[in-house]
Structure 1
Amino acid sequence: MIGRLHGQLLEKKPPLIVIDVHGVGYELEASMNTLLALPAPGETVRLYTHLSVREDAHLLYGFIDETERRLFRELIRISGVGPRLALAILSGMDRQQFMKSVMEDDTKTLTRLPGVGKKTAERLIIEMRDRFKHWPEFEQMEQGVEEAELPLESDNHADAEAALIALGYKPTEAARMLSGLDTAQSTEALIKAALSDRLAGGDMRSSKGRAS
């Protein structure tokens, strides 16, 4: 079982990253929240991992911290939620937003995530609410304590669209989500802005994200 990797970041092309560990290149899939927290290629990184073993492939997933990995593992225990959908959930919102949606029975926000229908959203709320009760972050949120957002990094518009498609959005939907955003922004910034707008109902654009 591969539990953690420490090495040089070789490639970062959402949702895939490649890490060199003593000459061996490990390819991992990561959530956008993890990708946004990573440094530029060439820097040293340390990621927690989850290995998914299938008949046709061994797939490795990377996480910026143990809490994100724990949430991923809790999600894939839910009926109908596989690794790809769990990664899409972690990419579409940070864990504080997800916990808030669960606490408030907010199926409307959850169904804005790719692959999450009403029944899946209801199942997520029912099953995750009991599990969250023992999480320190959940207790802090109930007391009104919020966590700082993750930092942004760099890349390009076509890669952002490809990443959204890889997360489960249809090509036309991905293009619409990115329309009107400043193409000079990094790939990660574009994806974050598009996902934030999607989460808000598609009606909001920050002044920083508008095309000039």
Structure 2
Amino acid sequence: MKRAFLLCALVGGLLLNSEAEAARYASPGPSARASVSLSNRAVTRASLWVGLPSLKRVSRSVNDDCSGLANLAYRKPGLHLLPERTLPGEGGVKAIHRKAKSLGALRSRPRPGDLVFFRETYDRNRDGRRNDGLTHIGVVERVEADGTVTFVHRAGGGVKRSKLNLHQPSLRRDAKGRVLNDYLRRSEKVPRPRLAGELLAGFAAVDARWFTAL
């Protein structure tokens, strides 16, 4: 009974996005153990939001988009996914990736709680060409032995749970009909990469390094 009560209190705090609640449930200072706790909390938060039509149901203090979800999932006093300054024409996804690179946090093999980046998921500059670079971000929820990665992201229609496969990025389903890669870009007249695995740009760990610099 006590555990159920605490779980309800945690969920309520996350959905109301109270800063006081965020501080209350924050793990202790940055350390190896705290980094694992930080990732677990980000996964728990993002998973709770799957199915919501808008992040406004959780908070109005972040953009209602993919970078807003990432920032909200990792919200903690002193932690900043975005750098102190963004470059001209730089979107939130590119800015977060740039900071991850500067911190040495990028990696090719994912773990639950990592950030996952994608490129060319839509025509951001509306010029009809595939020259937009990094355009989408999510939070890794689960990594399976066969290379299938489940991630949570804010996409068209709301917060969703989707999949990509590290070993078969261009295959929609396997021989048993199991989804390996979800679509991340709308269909176009000329067939081009649209599956999550095809548009994957890498991963980044969010840990103690993110507390040390803006």
Shorter chain as normaliser: what TM range?
under 0.3
Higher relative contact order (CA 8 A, sep 6+): 2
Higher fraction of helix: 1
Q: What TM-score do the two structures reach when normalised by structure 1?
A: 0.26
Q: What TM-score do the two structures reach when normalised by structure 2?
A: 0.26
